[in-house]
Amino acid sequence: MQYGVIEIEDMYFHAYHGHFKEEQVVGNNFIVYVRIETDCSKASVTDDLDDALNYLKAYELIQEEMMIPSKLLEHVTSRILDRLYRDFEGQVHHARIKVSKLNPPMGGQIGSVSVTQER
C-alpha cells in the first residue's frame, strides 16, 4: 500500500458561523485547510481519476458544509470530518481539518481564531 497525503489549502469562504446573532446575520470570512491520508497505490499506476480520492469532490463537500450555519467551529469541523469519511468511505485513512475565522469579534485586534480536529 502506498500512502499519500492530499492537502487543500487556503479555501476561502464567507459563511455564517458564530455564537453572536450579528455573526449569524452579517457572516464572517473563513479559511479552511484539509489534510487527507489515503492509499495512492492504484492511482499512481493507472493515472486515472476513478482510482484516486477526487479532491474536487472533497472541496465541494467542504464548501457545502461551510454554507450550513453553526454556532461553533467545533461543530463545523466535526461535520466536515463526518462527510469526508462518509463520502469517501474506505478511502480516507486519516483526516485533519482546520477552520479559521478571520477577525473574530472578541473585543480586540485578532487576526483569526481556529479550531482543528482530526480523526
Q: Is 35 exposed, middle or buried (0-12, 13-18, 19+ CB in 10 A)?
A: middle
37's enclosing H/E stretch is: strand 28-39
Q: What is the mean pLDDT of residues 102-106?
A: 87
d(CA 101, CA 71): 12
Which pLDDT score is estimated for 105?
A: 81
pLDDT at 107 over 90: no
Count of the separate structural domains present in the chain:
1
The arithmetic mean of pLDDT across residues 6-10, rounded, is 98
Tell me the average pLDDT across 67-85.
98
What percent of the chain is helix, strand and coil (3-state, nearest 5)? Answer: 35, 35, 30
pLDDT score for 23: 86
Q: What is the CATH number of the domain that holds 98?
A: 3.30.1130.10
- DSSP 3-state of 91: coil
What is the per-residue pLDDT across 28-41, written as a single tens digit (0 to 9) for each? 999 999 999 999 99
What residues make up the domain containing 81?
3-118
Instruction: Write out pLDDT tens, residues 41-62.
Output: 999 999 999 999 999 999 999 9
